[in-house]
Amino acid sequence: MMGVSSWLVWLHGGFKGQKLPLAVYSFQLLLNFLWTPIFFGLHQIGLALVEILLLWTAIGATMYLFWNVNTLAAYLLVPYILWVSLATTINFYIWLYSGDSLDSMKKNA
């Protein structure tokens, strides 16, 4: 659905005509890619939480920009932002209860 969404926007002028929407889309794809190695590879739960919050914001910005070009393109991203919302919640609770939270850092200081 993400690919179809970006294709629908691309149809309205290609990369030249839709530079900002497709750039923000590309940025959120990069953030999406980076979350997995930060969370699972590096085990940096707090950093992954910050990163996924940036991802969620970038998806919202992408949806807003896509809406102005093609409303269906924006709607096609709804399942994606819902999934990332769930992943953000899980990431938050793992951070909160893993000893990686600010409270546990203060206790150890």
Q: Strand runs (DSSP E) across the chain, as ranges?
A: none
pLDDT at 21: 98
Task: Please answer whether residues 48 and 38 qualify as being in contact, where contact means their C-beta atoms are separated by less than 8 angstroms.
Answer: yes
Handedness of CA 63, 66, 72, 73 (dihedral sign): negative
Q: Which residues of 28-39 are buried (b: 16+ CB within 10 A; e: fewer)?
A: bbebbebbeebb
* pLDDT, average across residues 98-108: 60
Short-list 69, 90, 78, CA closest to 21: 69
Enter the pTM of the model: 0.89
pLDDT digits (tens, 9 = 90+) for 25-73: 999 999 999 999 999 999 999 999 999 999 999 999 999 999 999 999 9
* pLDDT, average across residues 72-77: 98
pLDDT at 106: 53
